[in-house]
Chain A
Amino acid sequence: MALKTEEMILNMGPQHPSTHGVLRLELQLEGELIVNVVPHIGYLHRCFEKHAEAMTYPQVIPYTDRMDYLASMYNEFGYALAVEKLLNIEIPERVEYIRVIMGELQRIASHLVAIGTYGADIGAFTPFLFCFRDREKILSLYEMTCGARLLYNYIWVGGVSHDLHPDFLRLTKEFIDYFRPKITELNNLLSYNKIFIERTANVGILKKDVAVNYGITGPMLRASGMKWDLRKDDPYSVYDKFDFDIPVGDGRMGTVGDSWDRYFVRVLEMEESLKIIEQAIAQIPEGDVTSAIPKRIKPPVGQVYSRVENPRGELGYFIMSNGTPNPFRIKVRGPSFINLAVINELCKDLLVADVITILGSIDIVLGEVDR
């Protein structure tokens, strides 16, 4: 005979140290087991899409920065690619290489935040500070190029705003040599730590077909065993010229698709990004970076959906134009918005402490969820 207990509703409210922003998770508990998780979002809704309809195409770029503020370069990259497809213009090769270098450095910076805060949620405070120390070096590279550390306004439609500083490539090479042993240090400290593995392995298992049906993309999908990366499967910019690997989760510490896999795919991706940056530095041509920026952007009537591989997944821009200098409709398909929807499935029959583990492994940024 089973005891009937009352369900308790626990609010992991909008203000909380571990929800990575203003997210409200309503947990329906029975004792310590979870029956239902209902996410409530919209606390950071800043009406990006409505604003964009009132501005011209170049004016939208600082606003795209602020959506996923931890990976701003990629937001601008995606938008610039979408508008360039609509306008059908050719951009110089140097610009493509600069965008790739900036994007991959941004991927490393974003994954460092994800890994560091994930460790801090689990209780290991030291890797958090190590990750941020390494991220500081990337941010000073960015500051040297465009003057900003977090929200850049650097990648414009048709080019980039400034050419690279003369020391940039040399300092980036030094950063790569500095950072490679740090990944090994991070693995020894956090990834292979027995307590960390016990906390994260076999928690929140996401199967491959469920993931594809829910529209999950990015490291979450790759951790479930599916080798799908937009840089290889639907290449954009000059990614087809580089030789890199796509890390896939293989369940070596637990099951395929658990939280440890999601975490470890990010660590491996940082390594791959270093390879891409090295090849890009070796291949970058000379050229003029601002020559292809159009004076006045007035695209023809039509619509485009273009996507890039954000550090968090597939970032898609659907832009509809009606012939005027202002976009008629911009819809941003934010990966965190879609990835968050699956949290109810993942949290069935787990303990309250596991919700934190799973939420940290999904790696959301509320700016992108709410726009």
Chain B
Amino acid sequence: MKNTEEIFNLLKEKFGEAIIELKADQPVEAFITVNPLELDKICKYLAETDELKFDSLMNLSGVDEANGESTKDEEGNLTITGGTLSVFYHLESTSLKHKLTLKVSAPRENAEVTSVSEIWKCADWHEREAYDLIGIKFLNHPDLRRILMPYDWEAGHPLQKDYRNPEYYQGMKVPY
């Protein structure tokens, strides 16, 4: 069993610059921030090394951090520019019984993260949901389309903090 600090040191040796920092001062769990475009190599290493063996992806969640500049126009509508969108990965090893949390952050305007669905098939639907609700594009995903919203929803990504409901969808009035 390894804890997050040891894993951080191991990863830092192997990947160097792609591992950005270890944040361990907030409750409850410590997490490692990683470069979004190198993620698939890091995860492949995590899944296949014998001393780490992270064979199960417990959870993958997109988060809109809302840490850019927010401006409110006359009607009180919020718009956020700049800042990041992030994805949290919670990994676990069923044989060695240790856990790990990873975080990647990508710029809000063009958020791109490499997909890990080749390594853990579980990530397939999780990534589709993150794309659908938060708006993060996953590179090399086999079938990236909306999953919970209707397939032709054009008005944006609902879970972003500055999302507004459209007036009409296919001729039906949206506001209740």
A/B touching: CB–CB < 8 A: yes
Contact code string A25-63 (vs B, CB < 8 Å = 1, else 0): 000000000000000011001010110000000000000
| B29 CB to nearest A CB, Å | 7
Segment of A237-245, A287-295, A329-337 engaged in the interface with chain B:
A329-337
A to B contact number (C-beta, < 8 Å): 91
Residue B97 is within 8 A (CB to CB) of chain A in the complex: yes
Chain A neighbourhood of B90, CB < 8 A: 305, 316, 318
Residue B8 is within 8 A (CB to CB) of chain A in the complex: no
Contact code string B26-56 (vs A, CB < 8 Å = 1, else 0): 1111010000000000000000000000011
The chain A residue with its CB closest to the CB of B133 is A49
Chain B neighbourhood of A49, CB < 8 A: 133, 159
The reply to whether A341 and B125 form a contact with Cβ atoms under 8 Å apart is yes
| A15 CB to nearest B CB, Å | 17
| B170 CB to nearest A CB, Å | 15
The chain B residue with its CB closest to the CB of A45 is B148
The reply to whether B59 and A331 form a contact with Cβ atoms under 8 Å apart is yes
Q: How far is the CA of A304 from the CA of B90 in the complex (A)?
A: 10
The reply to whether A50 and B27 form a contact with Cβ atoms under 8 Å apart is no
The reply to whether A329 and B63 form a contact with Cβ atoms under 8 Å apart is yes
The reply to whether A215 and B28 form a contact with Cβ atoms under 8 Å apart is no
Interface size on B, residues (CB 8 A): 32
Chain A neighbourhood of B79, CB < 8 A: none
Residue A285 is within 8 A (CB to CB) of chain B in the complex: no
Q: What are 28 A-B pairs at a CB distance below 8 A?
A: A41-B147, A42-B146, A42-B148, A45-B149, A47-B158, A50-B158, A85-B27, A85-B28, A86-B27, A88-B28, A213-B121, A213-B122, A214-B122, A215-B121, A233-B97, A299-B27, A300-B27, A302-B27, A303-B88, A305-B88, A314-B58, A328-B63, A329-B63, A333-B58, A333-B59, A333-B61, A338-B126, A341-B124
| B176 CB to nearest A CB, Å | 13
| A343 CB to nearest B CB, Å | 11
Q: How far is the CA of A123 from the CA of B63 in the complex (A)?
A: 45
The reply to whether B147 and A303 form a contact with Cβ atoms under 8 Å apart is no
Q: How far is the CA of A248 from the CA of B94 in the complex (A)?
A: 16
Residue A370 is within 8 A (CB to CB) of chain B in the complex: yes
Q: How far is the CA of A239 from the CA of B148 in the complex (A)?
A: 35
| B69 CB to nearest A CB, Å | 17
The reply to whether A338 and B94 form a contact with Cβ atoms under 8 Å apart is no
Chain B neighbourhood of A341, CB < 8 A: 121-122, 124-125
Chain B neighbourhood of A318, CB < 8 A: 59, 61, 88, 90
Residue A23 is within 8 A (CB to CB) of chain B in the complex: no
The reply to whether A213 and B120 form a contact with Cβ atoms under 8 Å apart is yes
Given A233-B97, A302-B28, 14 other A-B contacts at CB below 8 A? A42-B148, A45-B149, A50-B158, A50-B159, A213-B55, A213-B56, A215-B120, A302-B27, A316-B58, A318-B59, A318-B88, A333-B61, A337-B125, A341-B122
